[in-house]
Structure formats: C-alpha cells, structure tokens
Structure 1
Amino acid sequence: MVNERVMEKLAILADAAKYDVSCSSSGSKRENKDKGLGDAKGYGICHAYTEDGRCVSLLKILLTNHCIFDCAYCVSRKSNDVKRAAFTVQEVVDLTIGFYRRNYIEGLFLSSGIFDNPDYTMERLVRIAKKLRLEENFNGYIHLKAIPGASEELMKQAGIYADRLSVNVEMPTEQSLKLLAPDKNHIDVIKPMEYLKNEIVGHKEEKKLNYKAPTFAPAGQSTQMVIGATKESDLEILGMADYFYEKMNMKRVYYSGYVPISYDSRLPAIGTPVPIIRENRLYQADWLVRFYGFKVNEIVGHNQPNLDLDIDPKLGWALRNLNQFPVDVNTADLELIKRIPGIGYLSAKKIVAARQYKKLLPDDLKKLGIAYTRAKFFLAFATPFQLQRDLTSIQIKDQILNLQNSKYKNDFSNQLALF
C-alpha cells in the first residue's frame, strides 16, 4: 500500500505535471464507493498513443516542483506561492512498479523542476530509469525529460534506459524566452537536441552492424512550445516546428496553449487562456506538414500569418487555391488527392487502390469513408455537383460552415434524445 505522505506528494506532483502536454490526461476522478473494485482519482494517470494507434496508460509526474528558475509561464517557478514536494528516487520506482502490478499503467512519464543544478536533477531522473530497468526488470515505456545544461554523459545514460527523451524549447523565439525566462536561452535547448539526434542516428547505424548493440531512445525525441503567452504568429510557431522536424529528426512537436495561473505584467491577463481551437488548428497544420506533403508557407504566410480558427488549414489552403480544383480522383496522383478537403491520408490511399478495379463515383467515395459533404465542392464528376465549381471561395466556406453547424446541432439533438 502507498503511504499517506507519498499519496500527498503524488497529488501535488501529478497536478504540476499536467501542463506538459506530451501526453494527454484522462481527466477521470471517479472514487471507490462501497468497497468496490478500483478507483480513478486522476493522480497522474494519463494516456499517450503509439505510432500504431495503441493507447498506453502512463504515470505522469514530476520528480519535484522545486525549481531554481523563475519562468513567468510556469506554475512551478520559484516565485510562485504553491505547495512544494519532492519524491525520492525509490518512491518513484515503487510507485511505478506498484501501479504497474495493479494494471493501472503501462509506463512512466517523468519530468522535473530544476533543483540545485541541471546535472543534479538529471542524475536522479537517470537513476530512476536505471533502477527500473536493471533492478526491477521493468520493460514498460519510459519517457524522460532531458534537462538542458546536463552533461552529455547523463544524456547518454538517459537514452540507454528511456524509450523517449524530450527537451522542451518552451518559447517559439529567443526574444520571448528572454522575456519570460531570462535565465534560459535557446542554445542550451538546441545543443542537447543535436546531441540526442546524433546519438539516435549513430546507435541505429551501429544496430545494423551488430544486432546486440544497445538501443538509444528508440521512440526518438520530442519537444513542446507554449503558445499564446507571447505574440508569435502561427507562421513563426510552425516555422520553428518545421526546423525541429527537418534538422533534429524530431518525432513530435507539442503545442501547449498558455493557461493563466497567476498575475505577471509580461503575460496575458488572467482569465484569457488561449482558445483550445488554436491548439487544434496548430496540430492540424503540423499533421499536414508531416504527412500530407504541405510546406509551412502554403498553410500560413506573411500575408496571412495566423491560421483561420473557423476552418481547418487544409480547407483554408483549398479555398485559396481553387484554381487547382475540381480534381478527378480517378486520374489525379496521390499527393493531390491527399490535398482534397474531406479526404484523409488513409482514404486517399484507398482511393488510389480502388480505382484500379473500377471508375469511382460519389457513392463509392462515401463507402470508403470520406467526408463527402465537404469533399464534393472540390471533386469532378459528371453529376450536378459539377456546378459547385462555379462557387466562390467565400460561398464554399459559408456552405461548409453551415453544414458543420447543422451537424453539431443534429449531434446535440441526438444526444438529447438518449435521455
């Protein structure tokens, strides 16, 4: 059983960890009643997703929320009046193994405030992963935060014992980082990223020559940017993300909408959090760059530096480029089909495979699962829908927004009908 003091620490340090969006919180707080089986207090249990779509439950905590830095956007900053706590190395190991044996979790997501100095903090994170692997024979997923400023030797050990490492860039630009975190700079973040990239590539090459060679951070590295705390445009944010994907072989860039936690003259006013839709649009744009072949300057540019919050970025691109439509899915190449609003990455591949056997018509596309009510404005068929080509981009946008609003209303009505 977990003692009361450790549970108190868990409540504090799991809550402080929720601002790191590298994995998503379950949000459940169901308590055990009448001596039932299990509970879900939300103490650090979160869900992450693997590349093959599996949902993995992780214990998501900080080692400590004590910190020597005073980053204005961070709940754990040294000037913030919050309750402080710190786990011992053994407490984190015991919690992880205990929760794993109870089938609460499949892995560990461990970050930390910086106490004393980067090496002192990183050494403890590494020691936890090492004890789990070597002493407890734990083979579950481990994600460690790599602390900027820590030695390369500690980074190397972290990569040997962890599945994924992440160095948070925090702010999209150096100027904003200096404003809100004057003790930090981007060079201290970029340097460990480059080291991790080179080690990951080097170990992969070594593995090809010697299958017994140790793996190094097999799930790669990721980073996170806080958005909305400063005035960077989506163009600047996505440009920085693109740099990380291209130059650092980053697996994921996460976007964390700033949440006002206390007053600071450098930050947006209390009560004005970043709209969740902005996070959503950034992730959609990020997905287009990573999987759909879009360039950042096709999605946003100097004439339009921010994403349209009303519509998704693929639809926004299509409306600005109506000269490329309508598209005949029976003859167009895969890359162009992927750019049609309403057709996803996998659906585009299904279309290319299916058209080898027959000429595809609207009903065929519906069976393949595409969002036809949206896609029809951009498709070429010998049907009345061909007339949609004569609509302006504003008219198409209005019609699609009306369709979306009708769908939301119908979904809401259907939900009410269940009660």
Structure 2
Amino acid sequence: MSSPLIEKLSILADSAKYDVSCSSSGGKRKNQDKGLGNAEGMGICHSYTEDGRCVSLLKILLTNFCIFDCAYCVSRKSNDVKRAAFTVQEVVDLTINFYRRNYIEGLFLSSGIFKNADYTMERLVRVAKKLRLEHKFNGYIHLKTIPGASEELIKEAGLYADRLSVNIELPSEESLKSLAPEKNFKDVLTPMGNIKDQLVLVKEEKKLFKSTPSFAPAGQSTQLIVGASAESDRQILTLADGLYQNYQLKRVYYSGYVPVVTDSRLPLISTPPIIRENRLYQADWLVRLYGFGVNELLDEQNPQLDLQIDPKLAWALRNRQIFPLEINTADYELIVRVPGIGIKSAKKIVAARRFAALTWDHLRQIGVVLKRAKYFVTCHGKSLETREWDEETIRRRIIFGEKGGRASLWGSQLDLFSQAS
C-alpha cells in the first residue's frame, strides 16, 4: 500500500469513528457464482473496542471535505483539519484487499458532502456497485444515505447495499437550526420514507415473483447524538419510538456527544455521557422488545432516565402496587417486566409451569437473576425475603449489595447493562 493511500486511510478512518450506527448483523446475502465472501445470517464476525464499538467492518469516509458547518462535527467546513478524499476505485481496492487478508467482514462507507447530496451519493453507490458486479463481492455493505439525495439514487443504493442509514444526529428541528443550520428534518425523513416504501414494495413483489431483486435486506438505521443539545431522554425516546413505528427502522443508535471541536453553541463537558447513552439503549430495548411504552418509563415530571439504576428496575420501583407477582400464575406480559427476568427466561417460565409448579430452584436453573427478581415475585405465595423492603432500601441493596457495603458502583452498572433486564 502506497504512503499517500495509507495517509488517506488514517485520516478518513479516524473521521468515521464517531458514527456508531454500523451494525453488521441482519444481512442474508449468499455467496453466488464462486464470488468473494458472504453475509449469510450471523456469519459476520464482530470485534469490539473497549467502549463496545464494532470494528469488524472497514469503516471509513469517502471524504472528510464537507460543504456543511455542523457545530458538533469534526469534518465541518470551518474546522482546521487535514482533508482527504478516496477515489471510488481506491475504496473498492481497499475493501477487497482487506477482506482477502481477513482483516474485515464488510464495508461501512459514509462521507462528508462534496458539491451536493446527489454528487456524493452517486459516488457511494458506484463503490457498492463495482464491488458487487465487478468483483462479485458478497460480503456485508452498509452505505450511509446522504440527506437530500434523490429517490432514484437511494433506490439504486438499496440494490447493492445490505443496510442503508441516514443519520438524524440531533433530536429536534430546533437543535438542527442551532447546531446544523444547513440541515433540516425534511431532508433526513424524506429518504427514510423512500427506503421504507421501497422495502414494503419489494416485500410485496417477492410474494408474487421470487426473482424480485432484494433491497437493503438488513433494513435501515439512524443515529442520534446524546448530550450535544438540550433534549430530554423522554424527547429522544419519543422520537426513536416514532421512527420505529413510522419508518420501520431496524435500530436507532445513540452516541454520547464527544467534544471534538470548540464552539460556543456546544455544552462544555470533559467526558462523553456514556452511562446516559447506555440507559437510552436499555430503554430502547424495553420499548422495542418488552412491550413498554415511552410514557411508562418517562413522563413530564421525570423526563430523564435514572443514571444509577436501569429503566426496568426504575419502573418496577415506581409501580410497587403491581408486585409481587406469583410466578406460577402471572401473565407473560407481566413476568417479562420483572427486573432480573429477560425475554428468554419469561418464555421458559411460561412453558415450564405447564408441567409442574415452579420453585425458586427452578427459577435459578432457568436463568432468572434472583438477587433482583426476588423483590418482585413469589413462588407458591412465598417470598425469598423475610421482610418487605421499601423502595429506597431495595434500590440501595441492588446498587451497593445486600450487606449494605459500598460495592463498586461501576461493577453494578456493568452488571445491569449486561442483563438489559
């Protein structure tokens, strides 16, 4: 690899690291005609950095030149950074060479905006098209859709990419006007709508014609920056819930604001709000997978998620009148809301109790986290606890340990995050 290309790669890979919406799961593109690679099912391998970000893809920008001047962006036009741009062929060659060396499992390609949205989007599409048609590349490709790009280019991109995404970045029109004045919600939501409509159309056509070409089989996603503007967690989750329902997004990714540039419009922080980011992911899972409504987790009086405990536990503590549940008779919809019981465990409980009344040992074998669940369920009317604890005591015992010693708060946070329940 030549020195100029290495320098470009260094610049444009570094500029791309702030985009977290780069999941490589969900593609089902099979290897055909003795091509190169595949993205079949869960065949994509993942590597993660210490902060949990996926690095299994070649994650780069086509260019960090940009006509926009977004306050939070390291590539904004007024920022004094070294600029670089790949040619279409350079990105294609890098992807093939890295894949052959087993460095990557696919490509995540985004870009600053050259002259205009269509000019940039056309080049992103050409990269994917050359990989698919000229090199028979069947690995995973995620293309970032440029806000304001034409519907025709978006449709073409979906023919070659496994996933498309267009980043909203900021959770409200007011924040966009303040921090990214060249952008607006319409330019972001219009391509989202185009992608959704095309996904629905292709799904219907495939019922009639099996030969219908696939369109972005891994769906679409977006990213929201957390902490660069003043929106509450309730506003952010309400927006995300609307995107899931109205635009059929696979995922909304939350990125804690990283202070990479100095601007009077931005908040003064020293470290990204990682715990808040984690709490938003947990709440997102509860809304998407556990049947919670945003208004159940947050309201006007409590618009921010609790940073000390996960949102499922916070909800349970606020709704003590519902508990304890009798594990042998409670409905699945309530069991899955118990802290310490995830979706798989709840399904196992409902299935197992058809054959025998469940005991605490059964729950432990199923995988229930009893140190959390025991405050909210009973077996045969009996609790593991000899006394009834108040809300604050349960909270303290779960965070710091049952003996009341100051167990590591960070350890507790990591434990809660890993369970997502």
TM-score (norm 2): 0.88
What's the offset of the Cα at 1:325? 0.4
Residue 362 of structure 2 corresponds to which residue in structure 1? 364
Residue 52 of structure 2 corresponds to which residue in structure 1? none
What's the offset of the Cα at 1:51? 7.8
Q: Secondary structure at the match of 2:21?
A: coil
Q: Secondary structure at the match of 2:136?
A: coil
* 1:6-405 correspondence runs (5 A): 6-23=5-22, 55-56=45-46, 57-269=56-268, 271-381=269-379, 382-383=381-382, 385=384, 387-388=386-387, 390-403=388-401
Distance of 2:409 and 2:288 partners within structure 1: 33
Gaps of 5+ in 2: 25-38, 47-55, 413-421
1:203–1:407 CA distance, 2 compared to 1 (3 A):
farther
What's the offset of the Cα at 1:275? 2.0
Alignment length (residue pairs): 386
Contact kept? 1:379, 1:386, Cα under 8 Å: no
Distance of 2:406 and 2:352 partners within structure 1: 31
Distance of 1:216 and 1:15 partners within structure 2: 30
Letter in 2 for 1:319: L
Gaps of 5+ in 1: 26-48, 413-419
1:234–1:206 CA distance, 2 compared to 1 (3 A):
same
Letter in 2 for 1:221: Q
Letter in 1 for 2:12: L
What's the offset of the Cα at 1:273? 3.1
Letter in 2 for 1:116: K
What's the offset of the Cα at 1:141? 0.6
Letter in 2 for 1:273: T
Superposed CA offset, 1:180-224 (max 9, x none): 001110011011111110001101110111010101011000001
Q: Secondary structure at the match of 2:77?
A: coil
| Runs of 4+ with >3 A deviation | 49-56, 404-412
Distance of 1:368 and 1:50 partners within structure 2: 31
Contact kept? 1:12, 1:83, Cα under 8 Å: yes
Distance of 1:123 and 1:132 partners within structure 2: 14
What's the offset of the Cα at 1:55? 3.6
Q: What percentage of aligned pairs have identical amino acids?
A: 64
Q: Secondary structure at the match of 2:155?
A: helix
What's the offset of the Cα at 1:403? 2.0
Superposed CA offset, 1:156-198 (max 9, x none): 1001010000010110000001000011100110111111100
Superposed CA offset, 1:263-318 (max 9, x none): 1110011x433321000000000000000000000011101000000000000000
Distance of 1:257 and 1:118 partners within structure 2: 26
Letter in 2 for 1:275: P
What's the offset of the Cα at 1:364? 1.2
Contact kept? 2:71, 2:179, Cα under 8 Å: yes
- Higher RCO structure (Cα 8 Å, ≥6 apart): 2
Distance of 1:183 and 1:209 partners within structure 2: 43
Contact kept? 1:71, 1:180, Cα under 8 Å: yes
Q: Secondary structure at the match of 1:377?
A: coil
Contact kept? 1:257, 1:273, Cα under 8 Å: no
Q: Secondary structure at the match of 2:401?
A: helix
Q: Secondary structure at the match of 2:384?
A: helix
Letter in 2 for 1:245: Y
Distance of 2:291 and 2:40 partners within structure 1: 22
Residue 416 of structure 1 corresponds to which residue in structure 2? none
Contact kept? 1:165, 1:222, Cα under 8 Å: yes
Distance of 1:307 and 1:285 partners within structure 2: 8
Distance of 1:65 and 1:321 partners within structure 2: 49
Instruction: Single out whichever of 312-321 and 322-331 deviates more from structure 2.
Output: 322-331
Distance of 2:409 and 2:317 partners within structure 1: 25
Distance of 2:352 and 2:10 partners within structure 1: 52
Superposed CA offset, 1:303-346 (max 9, x none): 10000000000000000000110011211111111100011111
Q: Secondary structure at the match of 2:326?
A: coil
Letter in 2 for 1:326: P
Instruction: Single out whichever of 59-68 and 364-373 deviates more from structure 2.
Output: 364-373
Q: Secondary structure at the match of 2:222?
A: strand
Superposed CA offset, 1:5-61 (max 9, x none): 111111111111000001379xxxxxxxxxxxxxxxxxxxxxxx9985964421110
Q: Secondary structure at the match of 1:297?
A: helix
Contact kept? 2:22, 2:142, Cα under 8 Å: no
What's the offset of the Cα at 1:262? 2.0
Q: Secondary structure at the match of 1:72?
A: coil
Contact kept? 2:377, 2:383, Cα under 8 Å: no
Q: Secondary structure at the match of 1:385?
A: coil
TM-score (norm 1): 0.88
Letter in 1 for 2:289: F
